[in-house]
Each structure stands twice: as structure tokens, then as C-alpha cells.
């Protein structure tokens, strides 16, 4: 089983986490929503798999390219 990092493409603040540990996701499913540039911008699953780790909390400040979750593929 391989691990895939989920990274934020943009700087922002975590507004809402849409998945829980162990949840199954498909490619491009919304993992969490960031608030950035006064918009609600989703972070999408890069591949299908299961959520292994969530590395941030709602309200966390996120940098560009920061790993925010890990998906088991």
C-alpha cells in the first residue's frame, strides 16, 4: 500500500475539514476547504484511497505546498 501526500496549492486558513480518518475518497474529492483570497478554496484528493492522516485542524494557517493529509492508495 502506497502513501500519497495531499498538499495545499495555496496559502490560506483551514475553514472546514470534509473527511475523517479512514474515510474512502475518490480522486478530486474535497478533503478540506481553505479560506484564501476571500474565497472558499477546496483541497482535492490527488488519487483514490483512504484517509490515513489529517495533519491540520480547522482554523490552522496553511502555507503553499504544505502537506495537510496523507492518503493510503
> In this structure, is the dihedral angle defined by the CA atoms of residues 25, 54, 72 and 63, taken in order, positive or negative?
positive
Residues 6+ apart with CB under 8 A from 32: 14, 15, 16, 17, 18, 19, 42, 43, 56, 68, 69
42 is a contact residue toward other proteins (CB under 8 A): yes
36 is a contact residue toward other proteins (CB under 8 A): yes
26 is a contact residue toward other proteins (CB under 8 A): no
59 is a contact residue toward other proteins (CB under 8 A): no
58 is a contact residue toward other proteins (CB under 8 A): no
Binding site for other proteins (CB under 8 A): 9-10, 36-42, 44, 64
Amino acid at each position: 500500500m502506497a502513501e500519497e501526500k495531499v498538499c495545499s496549492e495555496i496559502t490560506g486558513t483551514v475553514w472546514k475539514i470534509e473527511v475523517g480518518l479512514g474515510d474512502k475518497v475518490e480522486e478530486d474529492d474535497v478533503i478540506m476547504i481553505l479560506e484564501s483570497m476571500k474565497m472558499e478554496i477546496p483541497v482535492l484528493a490527488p488519487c483514490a484511497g483512504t484517509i490515513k492522516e489529517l495533519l491540520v485542524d480547522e482554523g490552522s494557517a496553511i502555507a503553499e505546498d504544505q502537506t495537510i493529509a496523507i492518503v493510503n492508495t
